[in-house]
A and B are shown apart, each in its own frame.
Chain A
Amino acid sequence: AQSVTQPDIHITVSEGASLELRCNYSYGATPYLFWYVQSPGQGLQLLLKYFSGDTLVQGIKGFEAEFKRSQSSFNLRKPSVHWSDAAEYFCAVGAAAGNKLTFGGGTRVLVKP
């Protein structure tokens, strides 16, 4: 069965600074990988996804993520955060069979002025 670990529960970053959120997955085959963002009281919004091909994936809102098979990682990055990036971020892995998503525990990002 697949699993996802997001090692950082909370991250505080200053506005304008760079951000990196870690995601490690466990899955026996090539995974389908996703990053979602959840603003307070809202549903989840897809930031980006990786299915195959180029291991550096660009998403919305200036985010990107890099798939590293050797490290079983799919870390999310943004060069310069904005106050509106304060939210909770979820990494998820999907298995081809059944198309079910397994989510990590989430990382809550706080942005300091």
Chain B
Amino acid sequence: DARVTQTPRHKVTEMGQEVTMRCQPILGHNTVFWYRQTMMQGLELLAYFRNRAPLDDSGMPKDRFSAEMPDATLATLKIQPSEPRDSAVYFCASGLTTSGGWETQYFGPGTRLLVL
């Protein structure tokens, strides 16, 4: 049963520290999405990649957030420096995009981040 995996599942850190979240998409999937979920804003798309190339990161605060795909099996989301308002659950999702088609997104279990 193929799944998206995310590490760490929980992270508590202090304001100003760097946070790195990792995602392993389902093998063979070529699109990776990063979402953030908060009580106030709900689910927001931060960024997404296709074939490892960033397609849209307009939802991501540029000054402190960065997203990369070092290879096809790893996506990272980094916050530096972290702030209390970054406390949220961060979800990674992956999908397979074919020409002219829409991919179904499969979500990982999320990383619950608390910035003190």
A interface, CB within 8 angstroms of B: 32, 34, 36, 42-46, 49, 51, 90, 94, 96, 98-106
If A42-B109, A43-B109, A44-B91 touch, whether A100 touches B45 (CB-CB below 8 Å) is: yes
Task: Please determine whether B56 and A43 come into contact, CB atoms closer than 8 angstroms.
Answer: no
If A36-B107, A42-B109, A51-B102 touch, whether A103 touches B42 (CB-CB below 8 Å) is: yes
Bound complex: CA of A6 vs CA of B48, how far in Å?
25
Bound complex: CA of A42 vs CA of B91, how far in Å?
10
Encode B78-94 as 1/0 by CB contact (under 8 A) with A. Answer: 00000000000001010
Task: Please determine whether B43 and A90 come into contact, CB atoms closer than 8 angstroms.
Answer: yes
Task: Please determine whether B31 and A99 come into contact, CB atoms closer than 8 angstroms.
Answer: yes
B7 at the interface (CB under 8 A from A): no
Interface of B: prevailing SS: strand
B interface, CB within 8 angstroms of A: 4, 31, 33, 42-43, 45, 48, 55-56, 91, 93, 95, 97, 102-110
Residues of B within 8 A of A44 (CB): 91, 93, 107
Q: Tell me the minimal C-beta distance from A105 to chain B in angstroms.
A: 5
Q: Which among B55, B102, B108 is the interface contact of A94 at CB below 8 angstroms?
A: B102
Q: Which among B43, B97, B108, B109 is the interface contact of A103 at CB below 8 angstroms?
A: B43
Task: Please determine whether A46 and B43 come into contact, CB atoms closer than 8 angstroms.
Answer: no
Task: Please determine whether B102 and A32 come into contact, CB atoms closer than 8 angstroms.
Answer: yes
Bound complex: CA of A99 vs CA of B51, how far in Å?
14
Q: Tell me the minimal C-beta distance from A74 to chain B in angstroms.
A: 15
